[in-house]
Amino acid sequence: MKNIRQMGIWMDHSNALLMEIAGETIVKHSVASESSHQENEQSLISHGKPLINKEQRASYYKEISDSIRDYQEVVLFGPTDAKNELFNLLKADNLFKNIKIEVKNSDKMTENQMHAFVREYYK
């Protein structure tokens, strides 16, 4: 039987935690947007989105998308609509057409809650 590579990604507009299911463990990797903490504090918030420039957001989404190319199943979850924005970008890119990508809503979570969410999702 072929191993299916699975990943869960909790994300908002400034940070993402990528969690790969590896047997009984979860291998994690963090990705942060290029906007600094100070810039985020000073930027205005509109509909839950920090007003960072489009190049920063594109770079952030590209780093995440580059990380999932070798997976067969990916679940995107988190409290903002960043997951939906990334999903729409991935759906429009033929490189990701063979990856099952699903979006789930969730609140802010601790890291342990994120791990439990991913484990439960892939049961």
Q: What is the pLDDT of residues 50-104, one digit of tens each?
A: 556 788 889 999 999 999 999 999 999 999 999 999 999 999 999 999 999 999 9
Smallest Cα–Cα separation from 53: which of 41, 43, 64? 43
- Asked whether residue 56 is domain-assigned, the answer is yes
Burial class (CB in 10 A: 0-12, 13-18, 19+), 69: exposed
Domain span at residue 79 reads 6-121
- Whether residue 93 lies inside any domain: the answer is yes
Answer whether residue 29 is part of any domain.
Answer: yes
1 inside domain: no
Whether residue 112 is contained in a domain is answered as yes
Running DSSP on this structure, what letter comes out for residue 50? E
Q: What is the pLDDT of residue 23?
A: 85
In a domain, 52, yes or no: yes
Rounded mean pLDDT, 28-38: 74
Total domains, the chain: 1
pLDDT at 106 over 50: yes
To the nearest whole number, what is the mean pLDDT of the chain?
Answer: 87
pTM score, whole prediction: 0.84
As a whole number of angstroms, the distance between CA 119 and CA 34 comes to 29
CATH number, position 17: 3.30.420.60
23 in a structural domain: yes
In a domain, 110, yes or no: yes
